[in-house]
Amino acid sequence: MKNDTQLRSRVPFQKTSTMDRVVLQKAFHHQSSSGKHIHEDYAVNLIREGAVEAFIQGKNLTSSPTTLLCVNPDETHAYQALTDEGYRHDTLFIKPNVLHAFLPENRHPLRFTEAAVVSPKLAALFTLLIEASPSEAPTGLEYDCMMGEFLDALFALQKLTPPEVSKSIGERAVRKAKDYMKENYHKEISLDDIIEQLDISKYHFQRLFKKSTAISVHQYLIALRIEKAKQALQSGESLAQTTYGCGFYDQSHLNRCFKRLTGMTPGRYRAFFH
């Protein structure tokens, strides 16, 4: 069956540039699984209808109407419908610089420690943010206060800690490989290109990478390119510019990968922002 994902709205927050926006998404998935993927933003997700098993922080979790699923940037995750009816979910994507603005004393990257937070109050505050209609969008000040109230309640139940420092040779290799792909995602990248940056064998590295991220090197690179494509489309770049600027072979390649991970075509995604 077809997957039908609808982006509900985008809300400018604090600054006017695209990079400082909070994106609200309402979606219905017919397909049984979203597939393992990553985001460059923090994602807070509430399953509205349907039974879902979530894979976050390397653990399988069961959702409920009052469970907020919290995903860190660059964290592999997936959602699996447990029934044929599919599931509906609302997601709040928060760019790291927006979230960190509420914590001025913490300038370093922070990570959620809890993948799932159960709280009727928090779920209700989350709903207020999601259900603000596009025609009655809150003012900057009003939305600032709404976001602040929601994040205060979230932080009261959810600790944010600095990411652990990579200590082992394998952890450092995975981090270095990710950094290389983030710097060169717009180019054609081979496994040999990545291995040249590391002091480790090709096959040992592939095993380490999948153990660390739960996805292959190729899957990670495609997911990273999709995130970069989202940013490009939000900023108004054309499909052609996005295709070649994000490392895809052609628009057909972009379309296939984009729809597989997001449930919509890149053209439709772009239309929500312009």
What the chain holds in terms of domains, given with CATH numbers, is 4-161 (2.60.120.10), 169-271 (1.10.10.60)
> What percent of the chain clears pLDDT 70, i.e. is strictly above it?
84
User: What does the pLDDT read at residue 212?
Assistant: 93
Q: Please report the pLDDT score of residue 31 as a whole number.
A: 61
pLDDT digits (tens, 9 = 90+) for 101-134: 777 565 567 889 999 999 999 999 998 887 764 5
Determine the pLDDT at residue 19: 39
In the block, residue with structure tokens 């990478």: 209
Q: Which one, of 28, 23, 21, lies nearest residue 4 by Cα?
A: 28
Reduce the secondary structure of 95-150 to three states and give it as a string: CHHHHHCCCCCCCCCCEECCCEEECHHHHHHHHHHHHCCHHHCCCHHHHHHHHHHH
| Mean pLDDT, residues 17-45 taken together | 74
Q: What is the pLDDT of residue 248?
A: 97
Contact 230, 239 (CB under 8 A): no
Q: What is the DSSP string of 179-206?
A: HHHHHHTTS---HHHHHTTSSS-HHHHH
Terminal CA-CA length for the chain: 29
